[in-house]
Structure formats: structure tokens, C-alpha cells
Chain A
Amino acid sequence: GESVGLHLPTLSVQEGDNSIINCAYSNSASDYFIWYKQESGKGPQFIIDIRSNMDKRQGQRVTVLLNKTVKHLSLQIAATQPGDSAVYFCAENVGGGADGLTFGKGTHLIIQP
């Protein structure tokens, strides 16, 4: 079936720089998207979400952009810190209710000192 995917498995960024993690999805029926951060030995931690009626949403140091025309999602992290090192997953939900999420392949974000 259709699934969400990521372009790069590993992203290396200098501390203090901005990070951009990309995600492509193929199911045009998806109407809810979410980003998670997963540190080693822990469960996915909610970062930010966005519904298909929006194209941008901002949180603390994070911004999610949704381009429905090209079915692309991105997560921007401002002023990357060592604590941002983790695997980042995007996920989608079709239906919005108590349905399971379809996860993309994770991107491992590495922060260089």
C-alpha cells in the first residue's frame, strides 16, 4: 500500500545551524501529519502535527510545512542543539480518528559540535 517515506537516512548538522528534515507521502487522502522524535531506548516523542487544511504550523523552535501539491512535508528545527540528536519520523493518518499511523522511514539527525 501507499506509505510515507523520507529522502535521507542521516542528516549531519552543525550545532547552532537550522535543520530541515524532509518527508514525501503518496496517499493524497491523508489529512493529518505528525512528526516524532525518537531517542535511543525511548518511545517516539510528539513534536508537532498539522492537518491538511493548513500549510504551515509553528511550535517552539520547530516549524512544519505541508505542500499538498507535491505531497511533501518538512520539519525545520531552528538553532539545533546537541539534545536534538535523535531519529525523526514523519507519520500520516487517513481518517483522523482512532486509526493507526503510517510511519515513514526515520532520519537520523546528528549534531556536530
Chain B
Amino acid sequence: AAGVIQSPRHLIKEKRETATLKCYPIPRHDTVYWYQQGPGQDPQFLISFYEKMQSDKGSIPDRFSAQQFSDYHSELNMSSLELGDSALYFCASSLAGGQPQHFGDGTRLSIL
């Protein structure tokens, strides 16, 4: 079965640079979620979109923004990157604004 696709899988940036992470949900899924997971930590919810509208907002820094496009894929834009932004970033998707959420394998972001 098709899963959530995230790209890139690995990304290396320097401080103060910008980064864009992409998420392609499971076919027919219209809801996407973004999470950040630090080393040895549990995933922390950032933001979600349902039918291209922001649905819920978690601990997303003001330096980050996200959107969902007409084909339901989503992008997480990160600016003025800091060392503390180094983490795994997961995207999840679900159907019709409901549960359960199905996760991709993440983007590992390293800030040098």
C-alpha cells in the first residue's frame, strides 16, 4: 500500500539558512500533520491542514510556516535556521480530517 512520502530524507543546512520540506500524503488523504522529533524525544506536533486550510497549531516557531496545496501535498518552510532545529521532521496524513494518522519516514535535518 502507498505510504506517506517525504523529501528530502536528509538535509544539511547552516545556521540562518532556509529549508523546505515536502510531504506527499497517502492517496485520497486530505489531511496532513507535521511533527518534530528531537533525539531520544517523543514527536511534538507543529501544525495540521485539512482541505488546504490550517486546522490545528502546536508548538511551531514563528520562523516556520507551512501550507497545503491543491493536490494535498504540503510543504514546511523553515527560515533563520538555528542549531536547535536539528531534528527529525515527520509528516502524517489521514482521511477526511479524522484519525488515525499515518506517518512517513521523516526528513532528518542537520544544522551545522
Contact = CB atoms under 8 A, between A and B. Distances in A.
Place the interface of chain A in its size category: 20 to 34
Interface string B1-45: 000100000000000000000000000000101010000001111
A16 interface: no
Contacts, number: 67
A97 B54 CA distance: 12
Interface size class of B (residues with CB under 8 A): 20 to 34
Contacts of B47: 100
A49 B100 CA distance: 7
B94 A44 contact: no
B61 to A, nearest CB: 15
Contact of B58 (A41, A100, A106): A100
Contacts of A93: 99
Contacts of A44: 43, 90, 92, 103
A104 B42 contact: yes
A93 B97 CA distance: 13
B77 interface: no
Interface string A76-113: 00000000000001000100111111111110000000
B97 to A, nearest CB: 4
Contacts of A46: 100-103
Nearest to B6: A43
A61 interface: no
Interface in A43-78: 43-46, 49
Nearest to A95: B56
A99 B48 contact: yes
A98 B55 contact: yes
A34 interface: yes
Interface of B: 4, 31, 33, 35, 42-50, 55-56, 58, 90, 92, 94, 97-106
